[in-house]
Amino acid sequence: MTTVKTSMGRRSFLKSSALAGGGLLLGFNWLTSCQHKTEKEVLAKPKEWFEINSYIKIGDNGLVTLYTPNPEFGQNVRTSMPMLLAEELDIDWKDVIVEQAPYHPTKYGFQFTGGSQGIRSRWEPLRMAGATAKHMLREAAAQVWQVPLEEVTTEGGVLHHISTGKSAGYGEMASAAAQLEVPKEVTLKDLKDFTIIGKSQKNVDARDLITGKTIFGSDYQKEDMLIAMVIHPPAFGLTLDAITDDSVARSMPGIQDVFAIITYKDDFSKGMFDTNAFPEVVAIVGHSTWEVMQAKKEVSISWKPISGRTEIVNGFGRQQTVHTPAGFESSAQHKVQMSEMASKPGRVVRKDGNPEEAFKKAAKVIERSYSAPYLAHVSMEPLTAFAHVEGDKAFIAAPLQAPAIIVPTLSSSLGIPAENIEMEIPRMGGGFGRKAYAHYVVEAALISQKVNAPVKLIYSREDDMTQGVYRPTYQATYRAALDEHNNLTAFHVKAGGIPESPLHANRFPAGAVDHYLAEEWTIDSNISIGAFRAPRSNFMASAEQSFLDELAETMGKDPIEFRIDLLNKAKENPVGENNDYDADRYAGVLALVREKSGWGQSQENLHRGVSAYFCHNSYAAHVLDMVIENGKPVVKKVTCALDCGIVVNPDAATNMAEGAITDGIGNALYGEFTFSEGKPQNSNFDNYRIIRHREAPKKIDVHFVQNEINPTGLGEPPFPPIFAAVANAMYKATGRRYYHQPFLANG
Domains belonging to the chain, first-starting first, are: 2-210 (3.30.365.10), 221-309+378-467 (3.30.365.10), 334-375+470-734 (3.30.365.10)
Tell me, what DSSP letter sits at residue 408?
H
DSSP 71-116: --SSS-HHHHHHHHHHHHHT--GGGEEEEEPPP-HHHH------TT
Q: Is the dihedral of CA 724, 727, 730, 736 positive or negative?
A: negative
* C-alpha–C-alpha distance, residues 183 and 640, integer Å: 43
Specify the 3-state DSSP secondary structure of 352: strand
Q: 421-424 and 393-397 as β-strands: parallel, antiparallel, unpaired?
A: parallel
pLDDT, residue 673, reads 98
* C-alpha–C-alpha distance, residues 472 and 329, integer Å: 13
Q: Give whole-number Cα distances, 144 to 149, 154, 156, 166, in Å.
A: 11, 15, 20, 11
Residue 17 pLDDT > 60: no
| 450 vs 105, more confident | 450
What is the pLDDT confidence band of residue 46, given thresholds at 50, 70 and 90?
Answer: low
| Burial class of residue 655 (count of CB atoms within 10 Å of its CB; 0-12, 13-18, 19+) | middle
Residue positions counted in the chain: 747
* C-alpha–C-alpha distance, residues 587 and 494, integer Å: 25
* C-alpha–C-alpha distance, residues 430 and 66, integer Å: 23
- Note the pLDDT tens digit of each residue in 49-90: 555 566 777 766 667 777 777 888 888 888 888 899 899 999
Residue 385 pLDDT > 90: yes
Which residue type sits at 395? F
Phi-psi region of 550 (alpha: psi -120 to 50; beta: other; left: phi over 0): alpha
> Which segment of 81-85, 303-307, 627-631 scores lowest on mean pLDDT?
81-85
Beta bridge partners of 315: 318
- Note the pLDDT tens digit of each residue in 499-533: 999 999 999 999 999 999 999 999 999 999 999 99
Residue 273 pLDDT > 80: yes
* C-alpha–C-alpha distance, residues 562 and 96, integer Å: 49
Which residue type sits at 1? M
Q: What is the mean pLDDT of the segment spanning 393-420?
A: 96
Q: Is-contact 542 548, C-beta < 8 A?
A: no
Q: Which helix (H) or strand (E) holds 654?
A: helix 650-670
Q: What is the mean pLDDT of the segment spanning 576-595?
A: 96
pLDDT, residue 610, reads 98
* C-alpha–C-alpha distance, residues 19 and 722, integer Å: 53
- HSE value, Cβ hemisphere, 13 Å, CA-based, for 351: 10
- Note the pLDDT tens digit of each residue in 604-614: 899 999 999 99
Q: Is the dihedral of CA 175, 179, 183, 184 positive or negative?
A: positive
- Note the pLDDT tens digit of each residue in 354-364: 999 999 999 99
Q: What is the mean pLDDT of the segment spanning 282-307?
A: 98
* C-alpha–C-alpha distance, residues 553 and 360, integer Å: 22
Phi-psi region of 147 (alpha: psi -120 to 50; beta: other; left: phi over 0): beta
Residue 28 pLDDT > 70: no
pLDDT, residue 8, reads 40
* C-alpha–C-alpha distance, residues 574 and 579, integer Å: 8
Residue 39 pLDDT > 50: no
What is the pLDDT confidence band of residue 279, given thresholds at 50, 70 and 90?
Answer: very high
Beta bridge partners of 309: 324
Q: Is-contact 457 447, C-beta < 8 A?
A: yes
Q: Is the dihedral of CA 322, 326, 331, 333 positive or negative?
A: negative
* C-alpha–C-alpha distance, residues 209 and 213, integer Å: 6
pLDDT, residue 44, reads 46
Residue 4 pLDDT > 80: no
Which residue type sits at 551? L
Task: Name the nearest CA neighbour of 475 among 616, 372, 625, 337.
Answer: 372
Q: What is the mean pLDDT of the segment spanning 296-315?
A: 95
Q: What is the mean pLDDT of the segment spanning 682-693?
A: 96
Mean pLDDT of the chain: 91
Task: Name the nearest CA neighbour of 460 among 439, 478, 440.
Answer: 440
Q: Give whole-number Cα distances, 41 to 38, 93, 201, 644, in Å.
A: 5, 11, 15, 32
Residue 7 pLDDT > 60: no
On the question of a cis peptide bond just before residue 299, with omega within 30 degrees of 0, the verdict is no
Q: Is-contact 672 666, C-beta < 8 A?
A: no
Three-class secondary structure assignment of 110-166: CCCCCCCCHHHHHHHHHHHHHHHHHHHHHHHHHHHHCCCHHHEEEECCEEEECCCCE
pLDDT, residue 646, reads 96
Specify the 3-state DSSP secondary structure of 651: helix
Q: Give whole-number Cα distances, 627 to 113, 607, 635, 739, 742, in Å.
A: 37, 6, 7, 20, 18
Q: 280-286 and 393-397 as β-strands: parallel, antiparallel, unpaired?
A: unpaired
pLDDT, residue 48, reads 53
| 113 vs 415, more confident | 415
pLDDT, residue 27, reads 46
- Note the pLDDT tens digit of each residue in 715-728: 999 999 999 999 99
Specify the 3-state DSSP secondary structure of 33: coil
* C-alpha–C-alpha distance, residues 39 and 35, integer Å: 12
